[in-house]
Structure 1
Amino acid sequence: MGELRAGGLGVYPLAGKVAVVTGGSSGIGAATARRLAEGGARVVIGYGAGRERAEALAAELPGEEHLPLHLPMESSAALRAAAAEVERRFGRADVLVNSAGTTKPVPHADLEAMDDESFDRILITNVRGPFATIRAFAPLLRRGGDSVIVNVSSLSGSTGLGSSIAYCASKAALDTMGLSLARVLGPEIRVLGVSPAAVATDFVPGRGRAAVEKQAATTPLRTVAEADDVALAILSAITHLRLSTGTNIVVDGGRHL
């Protein structure tokens, strides 16, 4: 059994920490990178196809030594190489935010429209990719002894409502995977999930801001969720939820009610 820790750990300081954010070049990932950098962390901005966006973001973040890094969800070998580069460059990784994801809008009743290739791409990007990223960075995270992983999930994972059945399934899998990983990665690593409803980004192809506003109007708080709202929840999970692991934080304006 591991050594029993004392309570009263206080707020998790970001100064001097290294935070890796997959999908960090846009949307929730970029907003999270900004918040982490403002807190004093050196941020690894993981990107798939958004190299120029990642480089531009790294240049504008407060602080120094922020690193744009190719973190493609479909390649476990590339993810392991990226973890090795982070170790070479910084010698540590303390925070991992899995924000990379994808979807394809498909009406749930149109089963034929959800082709196998699209289904596989969604599962690889949203489930296998985050697992492979965690697997690659786990040795560095464990070494720190007080690290945290935050998986960006979705309310769709619990309601089964969302852009497609495959997307809903992928987020449910991500949530369950977080439960399993929280059991085996403690006490050195906390594992948390953050589950927003619709957010005012361009994540879902064809869904404009008007659609997000319409959905927000049906919720108890009647507030449009911006990327930074989710980033603040992620930051709070990292810095303040010191005794939480294997749980999900819902950021949906009360849509689940």
Structure 2
Amino acid sequence: MSDLRSGNLGPYSLKDRVAVITGGSSGIGAASAQRLAELGARIVIGYNTGRDRAEALAARLPGSGHVSLHLPVTDSAAIRAAAAEVESRCGRADVLVNSAGTTRAVPHGDLDAMDDETFDRILVTNVRGPFAVIRAFAPLLRRGGDAVVVNISSLAAVRGNGSSVAYCASKAGLDTMAVSLARVLAPEIRIINISPAGVDTDFVPGRSREGFLRHVAQSPLKTVCQPDDVAMAVVAAVTHLRLVTGTTLLVDGGAHL
């Protein structure tokens, strides 16, 4: 019986656990890899085009046994192959962090600028992608009886105000999907979404530094969110929020207020 179902609700130990991170070669994914590795997890750094970054990160993480793995979230066959490789190489998966995502800055009022191809790409990457990864890894996650999936969402899902209409819609879909999956994958797997506001990365093509800092200045805490701030929330969700599932946690400096 898992620690959770046995009533042992102390912190979730990451010693000898395996954490798979999509979009793990940079940004929030890389910061999460660092924090989880520091706590004893073996990290599988999933990447799409960032192979060199992923391999370099795997080499410098604390601990041992970390691997980089091609895990493109828009290709379900490749995702299934990646899950099989994790099973072969690691024998288990205990934590899954869905950090891969995409967007493009398109003014909300310029409907014609949001072409179908861009809209579809954002939804496929940000909604179907995490679903396909969870679907492929679910058997391996269930096996341990006490697994955690953390999806990186966004305050844009709540406010409807982000880099584009499609991005807002995709993150709202991700939040609702977490509720559905938390219900059907329990009790072996918990699902938690982490929703930052703007994060100090180059994730949003076309976003100006000045505009980003202006939004930060308007938030109650007036603090620039770094990838590590989100990574710390990921760690908390995995290790300490033992009775939390189907929930989205805001890490936004109070920007929703």
Q: TM-score, normalised by structure 1?
A: 0.97
Task: Tell me which residue corresponds to 1:134.
Answer: 134
Q: Is the 8 A contact 1:200 1:209 kept in 2?
A: no
Deviation of the 1:53 alpha carbon: 0.6
**Residue-by-residue CA offset, 1:125-164 (whole Å, 9 max, x unaligned):** 0000100000000000000000000000000011100000
Q: Is the 8 A contact 1:212 1:224 kept in 2?
A: no
Task: Tell me which residue corresponds to 2:106.
Answer: 106
For the residues of structure 1 that align with 2:160 and 2:8, how far apart are their CA atoms?
38
What amino acid sits opposite 1:81 in the alignment?
A
Deviation of the 1:208 alpha carbon: 4.2
Secondary structure of the residue aligned to 2:250 is strand
For the residues of structure 2 that align with 1:27 and 1:224, how far apart are their CA atoms?
14
* 1:1-257 aligned within 5 A: 5-257=5-257
For the residues of structure 1 that align with 2:66 and 2:211, how far apart are their CA atoms?
35
Secondary structure of the residue aligned to 1:93 is coil
For the residues of structure 2 that align with 1:125 and 1:63, how far apart are their CA atoms?
31
Could you tell me which runs of 5 or more consecutive residues in structure 1 were left unpaired when the two chains were aligned: none
Secondary structure of the residue aligned to 1:175 is helix
Secondary structure of the residue aligned to 2:218 is coil
Secondary structure of the residue aligned to 1:192 is strand
For the residues of structure 2 that align with 1:124 and 1:61, how far apart are their CA atoms?
31
**Residue-by-residue CA offset, 1:44-66 (whole Å, 9 max, x unaligned):** 00001111110111111011111
Deviation of the 1:207 alpha carbon: 2.0
CA RMSD of aligned residues (A): 1.0
What amino acid sits opposite 2:159 in the alignment?
T
